[in-house]
Amino acid sequence: GQNIDQPTEMTATEGAIVQINCTYQTSGFNGLFWYQQHAGEAPTFLSYNVLDGLEEKGRFSSFLSRSKGYSYLLLKELQMKDSASYLCAVRDLNSWGKLQFGAGTQVVVTP
Amino acid sequence: EAGVVQSPRYKIIEKKQPVAFWCNPISGHNTLYWYLQNLGQGPELLIRYENEEAVDDSQLPKDRFSAERLKGVDSTLKIQPAELGDSAVYLCASSPGISRGGRNEQFFGPGTRLTVL
C-alpha cells in the first residue's frame, strides 16, 4: 500500500507563490495526481506526473521525483479562488486505476 | 459533455434506516468508483467496477454495504442498516478505463452528503 503525507494547511497572500509538498511510499508507483477540491464540491483534476520532472499548466506546475518518492504542486500568482484543499493521489501499479489519496492540504489565500 | 451525476445531493436519515445513492458516470467511461470522504480527509475507495464487474471491493463493509452496476452504466450504493459512523460524503467517479491507456484520470461527481442521526 501507500503512505502519503502532505501538510495539513498553508496560508499565503494573494499574488504570491505557494508550494505544496507530497511524499509517498508505494510498492509499485504508476502515476501521481493532484486534485483541487473546493469546500462542498467534487475534486477536480489538476495535474498528472508519471515521469520525473516538471509539468507546467498555466499558473499551476507539478514536479515529481520517483527516486525520492516526492512531488510538489506549485501555485503561482495566487488568487482568492485558489483557496481550496489540494489532494495528492498515487496510483499503484499492482492495482491499475486505484488511487490512494492523501488527506489534502488546505490552502488559505488572504488579501 | 455531461459530468458524473449523483443523487440525492443530501440525505438525512435515522440510524438503522436504509439508504441508497445513485450515480450515472460520464458516457463511455468503463470504470466506475465509489468513494467515502470524511471531513478533512481524502477520498477512500469503497468499490471499483470495470463495466459491470466489481474488480476491487476489498474496502467495502459487506455486512451493511452493497453496490451494483447491472448494465455497466449507472450504479447504486446501498447501506442497510445505517450507523452513526456512516455520516460522510459519498463520491462517485468514473474514468475511461484501463484498456484506453493514458492517464485514465478520474472524474468525480458532486457527492451525496449523508447525515445519520
Task: Please give, rounded to a whole number of angstroms, the shortest distance from the CA of A53 to a CA of chain B.
Answer: 16
Cβ-defined contact of B40 to A104 (cutoff 8 Å): yes
Q: Which residues numbered 55-84 in B keep a CB inside 8 Å of some CB on A?
A: 56
Q: Hey, is A81 helix, strand or coil?
A: helix
Which three cell numbers, joined as nine digits, stand for A43? 475534486
Contacts of B43 in chain A (CB under 8 A): 43, 87, 101
Give the DSSP letter of residue B62. T
Please check the confidence at residue B19 and state whether its pLDDT lies above 80: yes
Alpha-carbon span B33 to B23, nearest angstrom: 10
Which of A26-30, B13-17, B111-115 is least confident?
A: A26-30
- The pLDDT value given to residue A1: 46
Chain A positions with Cβ closer than 8 Å to B: 4, 31, 33, 35, 40-45, 48, 50, 87, 89, 95-99, 101-104
Contacts of B39 in chain A (CB under 8 A): none
Nearest to A5 by CA among A79, A74, A66, A70: A70
Q: What secondary structure does DSSP assign to B70-110, as a single string?
A: TTSS-EEEEESS--GGG-EEEEEEEE--GGG-TT---EE--
Q: How would you class B81 by CB atoms within 10 Å of its CB: exposed for 0-12, middle for 13-18, buried for 19 or more? A: middle
Cβ-defined contact of B42 to A95 (cutoff 8 Å): no
Q: In the beta sheet, which residues pair with residue A100?
A: A90
**CA-based nearest residue in chain A for residue B33:** A98
Residue located via cell numbers 515529481: A64
Contacts of B107 in chain A (CB under 8 A): 45
pLDDT digits (tens, 9 = 90+) for A50-73: 999 999 999 999 999 999 999 999
Direct distance between the N- and C-terminal alpha carbons of chain A, in angstroms, rounded to an integer? 40
Residue B30, chain A, CB below 8 Å: the answer is: no
pLDDT digits (tens, 9 = 90+) for B57-97: 989 999 999 999 988 899 999 999 999 999 999 999 999 87
Q: Hey, is A110 helix, strand or coil?
A: strand
The residue type of B44 is: E
pLDDT digits (tens, 9 = 90+) for B26-44: 999 999 999 999 999 999 9
pLDDT band of B99, cuts 50, 70, 90: low
pLDDT tens by residue, chain A, 111 residues: 458 999 999 999 999 999 999 999 988 888 999 999 999 999 999 999 999 999 999 999 999 999 999 999 999 999 999 999 999 999 987 766 689 999 999 999 999
